[in-house]
Amino acid sequence: MEPTFLSATILLILITDPLGNIPLFIAALRNVRPERHSRVILRECLISFGVMLAFMVFGRPILAAMNLTDDILRVAGGVILFLIALKMVFPDGTGQAREGEDLVEPFIVPIAIPLISGPSAMATAMLIAGSNPRRMPEWIAALALSIFVTFTVFRLSNWLQKRLGDQVIKAMERLMGLVLTAVSIEMLLHGIAAYIKGLRA
């Protein structure tokens, strides 16, 4: 099933997981002056948007050059999203920053890449764009909206962590993981069905 603007936006928000990344984000900025936070957040979100936009626009020609079909891409995307969803539902506790890291102001790494636009987010952007390249402006708008949500959550990260608490944030992340699990299964089954149908034809 071809995604809509709303479903594409929700999928991108789920895969970038701004709520789940709040503890990592706070740790990455712990040595940055408070007056620099807004500028750093904006810069990293813009870099992330540029990276994912590049995958969205140029990913399909690269796949075509490698002779990879949309069905194969759907199956691969479903598998990737499923693994990410499992990690959201069953966190392994490795999300905390290691001692001695982030001693300088972060630039690109680790906030823009891989915190916001990790491999799964890049693959998802490419998959959404590949579903219907003629609707590219719509997909770019969905990407921009998802990055804006990430910017807003990161901007309010300290407030959210204090008001909601770690337990509520973890519960919300697991709920998002459950939704993402359903999306990944649907994508996987649709890709397998389309591939089998193509073989029979």
What pLDDT, in 10s, does the model give residues 98-119? 444 444 688 888 899 888 988 7
Estimate to the nearest angstrom the gap between the alpha carbon of 87 and the chain centroid. Answer: 13
pLDDT of residue 100: 40
Higher pLDDT, 89 or 12: 12
- In which band, very low, low, confident or very high, does the pLDDT at 29 lie, cut at 50, 70 and 90? confident
Q: How far apart, in whole angstroms, are the C-alpha atoms of residue 106 and residue 163?
A: 26
Check the CA dihedral 84-199-8-185 and report its sign: negative
Kindly report the average pLDDT of the chain as a whole number. 83
- In which band, very low, low, confident or very high, does the pLDDT at 1 lie, cut at 50, 70 and 90? low
Confidence check: pLDDT of 95 > 60? no
Average pLDDT score over residue span 39-50: 96
- In which band, very low, low, confident or very high, does the pLDDT at 144 lie, cut at 50, 70 and 90? very high
Query: Would you mind telling me the total number of residues written for the chain in this entry?
Result: 201
pLDDT of residue 201: 66
Q: How far apart, in whole angstroms, are the C-alpha atoms of residue 88 and residue 179?
A: 10
pLDDT of residue 37: 92
Confidence check: pLDDT of 76 > 80? no
Average pLDDT score over residue span 146-165: 91
Ranges 121-125, 157-161, 177-181: which has the least confidence: 177-181
Helix-, strand-, coil-residue percentages of the chain, each rounded to 5: 80, 0, 20
Q: How far apart, in whole angstroms, are the C-alpha atoms of residue 77 and residue 71?
A: 10
Give CA angle at 66 (64, 70), nearest 5°.
Answer: 50
Beta-carbon contacts of 136 under 8 Å, excluding residues fewer than 6 positions away, are 56, 57, 129
Average pLDDT score over residue span 136-149: 97
How much is the pTM? 0.76
Confidence check: pLDDT of 19 > 50? yes
pLDDT of residue 92: 65
Average pLDDT score over residue span 123-134: 87
